[in-house]
């Protein structure tokens, strides 16, 4: 997937549902509403090739989120 490009509608719905149901900080990640999700380079990682999902808000801001954290909440111990 190219960096910085919105994912398709189906994947958007899946990630939005995952974020809403599983992320402990979903409300702050979503803010006033989302318009998309993108895969972007993750500047905080030790690996220069690291990638992360970013929730893109309607106001143009974006914040990374961990789908692994979401899955851990939904499926504890898995």
Lay out the sheet containing 34-41: strands in order across.
34-41, 51-57, 62-65
Question: Which domain covers residue 61, as residue numbers?
Answer: 9-74
Cβ–Cβ under 8 Å, residues 54 and 36: no
The total of structural domains in the chain comes to 1
**What pTM does this model have?**
0.87
Look up the CATH number of the domain holding residue 34: 3.10.450.40
In a domain, 2, yes or no: no
Does the residue 25 lie in any domain? Answer: yes
User: Per-residue confidence of the chain (78 residues) as pLDDT tens digits?
Assistant: 789 999 999 999 999 999 999 999 999 999 999 999 999 998 877 887 889 999 999 999 999 999 999 999 999 987
Report if residue 17 sits inside a domain. yes
Q: Is residue 4 part of a domain?
A: no
Position 3 in a domain: no
Question: How far separated are the first and last CA of the chain, in Å rounded?
Answer: 27
């Amino acid at each position: 997937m190219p960096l910085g490009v919105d994912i398709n509608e189906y994947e958007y719905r899946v990630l939005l549902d995952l974020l809403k149901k599983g992320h402990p900080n979903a409300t702050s990640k979503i803010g006033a509403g989302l318009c998309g999700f993108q895969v972007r380079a993750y500047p905080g990682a030790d690996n220069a090739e690291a990638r992360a999902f970013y929730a893109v808000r309607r106001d143009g801001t974006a914040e990374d989120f961990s789908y692994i954290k979401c899955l851990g909440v939904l499926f504890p111990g898995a």
